[in-house]
């Protein structure tokens, strides 16, 4: 499966495409890039045309607009630009972690463009980040941390994301560490990390009109499962499931439980 690229006024996006059927967009968590959906692409491609995207600040997507803001609204509008470039007026979205927060903001700003919204341990709430990401926001220390980020640091983040250590995709760690060596990649990642705040995303949850699926691992060490009620209270029609014995990267940590819920949710309902 080869990488594809498409140019827009905002960015040159890297993505992967697979399968055929109703379109589904995959938005990864911070630092995960489209690599973190390697297994999901194959699963969902059985029934869908899958687009796995590197948003700005991720992977090898390159921001072209010098006025790009790097905040949540800027990322949401960049997703719209990507979909416009591929002539996709409406799409289902699966978002993991911060990718879930970006998916939520996109659904708030462009409700007519989202057919279904699946959120896996999503960002989008105005809460404090874990220390690993707070470190990146500090002047000078953040630059040094990202510039010198070795393979063991990426492995640490992966291990923190999993309960089942035997399922950790260490090949992802090697590729992520390699791509982080690009000064441009590091600079964009830092700008996104320092610009993103979720205050308006949480405030505007009532604007989400699409059917929503919320999945969360009960042993998540990045975004604790206790946050789930803040989404459920504001999205009362959402289908909500807590997955037992699962960490933050629940789609790889607990694939059977995840796809048992995710696959039927994404399939179009018959009238």
CB pairs under 8 A, 24+ apart, for 81-85? Answer: 81/8, 81/9, 81/10, 81/11, 82/6, 82/8, 82/11, 82/13, 82/15, 82/53, 83/25, 83/113, 84/8, 85/6, 85/7, 85/8, 85/13
- Identify whether the C-beta of residue 18 lies closer than 8 Å to the C-beta of residue 45: yes
Distance CA 43, CA 221 (A): 26
Q: CA distances (Å), 5 to each of 13, 72, 257, in order?
A: 5, 22, 32
Distance CA 12, CA 24 (A): 20
Average pLDDT rounded to a whole number, residues 183-208: 82
Question: Angle between the 170-179 and 151-161 helix axes, to the nearest 10 degrees?
Answer: 140
Give the per-residue pLDDT at 118. Answer: 98
Three-state secondary-structure class, residue 215: strand
Contact partners, residue 235, CB within 8 Å, separation at least 6: 205, 208, 212, 214
Beta-carbon neighbour count of residue 91 at 10 Å?
20
Q: CA distances (Å), 97 to each of 11, 29, 38, 213, in order?
A: 22, 5, 16, 14
Beta-carbon neighbour count of residue 236 at 10 Å?
9
Residue 34, token pair as written in the block: 């489209």
Residue with the larger pLDDT of the pair 39 and 154: 39
Give the per-residue pLDDT at 207. Answer: 96
User: 4-266 — its CATH code?
Assistant: 3.40.50.1820
pLDDT in tens, 83-124: 999 999 999 999 999 999 999 999 999 999 999 999 999 999
At which residue do the structure tokens 């940590």 appear?
253
pLDDT in tens, 32-83: 666 689 899 999 999 999 999 999 888 789 999 999 998 999 999 999 999 9
- Identify whether the C-beta of residue 118 lies closer than 8 Å to the C-beta of residue 94: yes
Distance CA 30, CA 98 (A): 6
């Amino acid at each position: 499966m080869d990488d594809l690229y498409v140019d827009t006024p905002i960015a040159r996006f890297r993505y992967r495409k697979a399968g055929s059927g109703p379109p589904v967009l995959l938005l990864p968590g911070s630092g995960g890039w489209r690599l973190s959906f390697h297994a999901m692409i194959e699963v969902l491609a059985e029934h869908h045309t899958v687009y796995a995207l590197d948003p700005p600040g991720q992977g090898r997507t390159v921001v072209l607009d010098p006025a790009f803001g790097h905040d949540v609204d800027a990322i949401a509008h960049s997703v719209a630009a990507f979909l416009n470039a591929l002539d996709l007026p409406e799409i289902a979205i699966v978002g993991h972690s911060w990718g879930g927060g970006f998916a939520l903001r996109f659904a708030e700003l462009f409700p007519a463009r989202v057919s279904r919204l699946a959120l896996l341990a999503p960002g989008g709430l105005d809460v404090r980040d874990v220390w690993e990401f707070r470190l990146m926001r500090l002047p000078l220390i953040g630059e040094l941390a990202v510039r010198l980020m070795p393979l063991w640091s990426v492995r640490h983040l992966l291990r923190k994301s999993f309960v089942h250590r035997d399922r950790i995709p260490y090949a992802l760690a090697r590729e992520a560490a390699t791509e982080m060596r690009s000064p441009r990649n590091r600079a964009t990642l830092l700008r996104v990390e320092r610009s993103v705040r979720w205050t308006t995303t949480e405030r505007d949850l009532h604007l989400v009109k699409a059917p929503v699926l919320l999945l969360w691992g009960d042993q998540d060490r990045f975004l604790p499962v206790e946050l789930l009620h803040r989404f459920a209270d504001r999205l009362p029609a959402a289908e909500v499931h807590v997955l037992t014995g699962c960490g933050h990267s629940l789609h790889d940590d607990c694939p059977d439980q995840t796809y048992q819920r995710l696959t039927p949710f994404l399939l179009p309902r018959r009238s």
